[in-house]
Copies of this chain bind each other. A is one copy, B any other.
Amino acid sequence: MAGGGAAASALSSPWRMLLQRALDANAHLKHSTFFQLATVGEGGRPANRTVVFRGFQEHCDKIQIHTDARSNKVGELKEWPLGEICWYFTDSWEQFRISGIVDVIDGSSSDPAKLQQREKTWFASSMKTRSQYLGEPWPGVPVAEDNLDPSTGPVDAYCLLTLDPEKVDYVNLKSNQKLMFRRTQEGDHSSDWIAENASL
């Protein structure tokens, strides 16, 4: 019951219910868990790529993403740890823009709790997903799953990113509903968020 209570608490952030409804309504589409993550790279250049939603961290609103430690975005985020997700649901015509600070958690992290979280998400991944981090010379190229022991912990190339939402901008293109949520203080309770006038 403690777990259920914690889940309910995390879900109390006002935009989480909207997002869960969109995930449910679009669950029949494989790409419904794909979104685009914008970051700022060298020389202040915007960068943008498709990544996969790996769920929320327990008891909070942090959005989890897996990536290869060798990818450009890891270096970019270490320099400038801000990101904005654009998540468009193609069946329900809903868009969520979620911005916040991104934490890069690779094997070099000095925080035991973060290393534990990285290990947890590694073991929660399929063997197929894990095998993508063994690819050489480029990240993302899967190798035979047979080369990987299921009990082996995260390999060096495996990196967990968590985006901690500070602002969520919602638009429903079917109903023309717009909502904007801004976090006013640390925390994930509904009282930590306020709704503001939205603009495109």
Residues of A within 8 A of B (CB): 29, 31, 34, 36-40, 44-50, 68, 70-72, 80, 82-86, 88, 90, 95, 97, 99, 138-142, 171, 176, 178, 198-200
Contacts and interface: CB of A to CB of B under 8 A. Distances in A.
Contacts of A84: 38, 45-48
A44 B46 contact: no
A49 B45 CA distance: 16
Contacts of A90: 29, 31, 34, 90
A48 B97 contact: yes
B47 A38 contact: yes
A105 to B, nearest CB: 18
29 contacts: A31-B90, A34-B88, A34-B90, A36-B36, A36-B48, A36-B86, A38-B46, A38-B48, A38-B86, A39-B46, A40-B40, A40-B46, A44-B82, A45-B84, A46-B82, A46-B99, A47-B84, A48-B86, A50-B86, A71-B199, A71-B200, A72-B199, A90-B90, A138-B199, A138-B200, A139-B199, A140-B176, A141-B176, A142-B176
A40 B36 contact: no
Given A40-B45, A44-B82, 17 more contacts: A31-B90, A36-B48, A36-B86, A38-B47, A38-B48, A38-B84, A39-B46, A45-B82, A46-B83, A48-B84, A48-B97, A50-B95, A70-B199, A72-B200, A138-B200, A139-B199, A142-B176
